[in-house]
């Protein structure tokens, strides 16, 4: 039987990727004296209180509550699906583990915007496009994700055509004091090198 986590807001950290392009588990890479995992957990806990890791139980059980994908090996959409299946929260902050510059202030901002709308997904947009791995999902998005995954469609953005969106445009982010660097993600050794050149 699935146990629902009772809270008005829950943070879910997606840490289940294979990190194949990095050559090592990204979650445990050190940035600014902290692992990516610890940085992300701290930001999520400050913004949401309750945090759950979506990933491998054996790898992450010592770091807190963990849930695993139902659709294993199907990418981050499967992680979002697993998160929402285990949540009864109205607002679910989903964050990828490989975004070292996401702050608790940014997460608070996204949650506050989501709280003011009935949209299924509240997602920022930068010059790089939508940022679905630093976004707020209402729990009913689980059924949309499940339909896509069952059909073998794994692109998150493609699922957004069938749900209501609140897009936070770059100008709105900038007005609130957030810059595109906040959404930088570390996928390769080159990305890691670039990130180490930024200030934390």
User: Which one has a higher pLDDT value, 48 or 4?
Assistant: 48
- List C-alpha distances in Å: 3 to 125, 129, 163: 33, 35, 26
Over residues 163-185, the pLDDT tens digits come to: 999 999 999 999 999 998 899 88
Average pLDDT of the residues in 55-81: 93
Closest CA to 80 of 25, 150, 149: 149
Domains of the chain and any CATH numbers: 9-18+26-194 (3.90.550.10)
Tell me what pLDDT residue 17 has: 64
Over residues 90-139, the pLDDT tens digits come to: 999 999 999 999 999 999 999 999 999 999 999 999 999 999 999 999 99
Average pLDDT of the residues in 8-33: 78
Between CA 145 and CA 141 the distance in angstroms is 6
Cα angle, residue 124 at apex, residues 197 and 194 outer, rounded to 5°? 10
């Amino acid at each position: 039987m699935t146990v629902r986590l009772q809270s008005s807001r829950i943070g879910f950290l997606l840490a289940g990727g294979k990190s194949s392009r990095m050559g090592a588990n990204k979650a445990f890479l050190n940035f600014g004296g902290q692992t990516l995992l610890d940085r992300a957990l701290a930001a999520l806990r400050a913004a949401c209180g309750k945090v759950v890791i979506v990933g491998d139980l054996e790898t992450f059980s010592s770091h807190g509550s963990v849930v695993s994908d139902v659709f294993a090996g199907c990418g981050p959409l499967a992680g979002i699906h697993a998160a929402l299946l285990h949540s009864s929260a109205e607002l679910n902050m989903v964050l990828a583990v490989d975004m070292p510059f996401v702050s608790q202030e940014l997460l608070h901002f996204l949650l506050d915007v989501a709280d003011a709308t009935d949209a299924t997904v509240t997602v920022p947009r930068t010059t790089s496009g939508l940022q679905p791995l630093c976004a707020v999902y209402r729990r009913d998005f689980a059924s949309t994700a499940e339909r896509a995954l069952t059909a073998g469609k794994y692109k998150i953005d493609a699922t957004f055509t069938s749900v209501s969106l609140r897009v936070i445009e770059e100008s709105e982010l900038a007005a609130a004091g957030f810059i595109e660097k906040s959404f930088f993600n570390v996928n390769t050794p080159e990305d890691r090198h670039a990130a180490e050149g930024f200030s934390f």
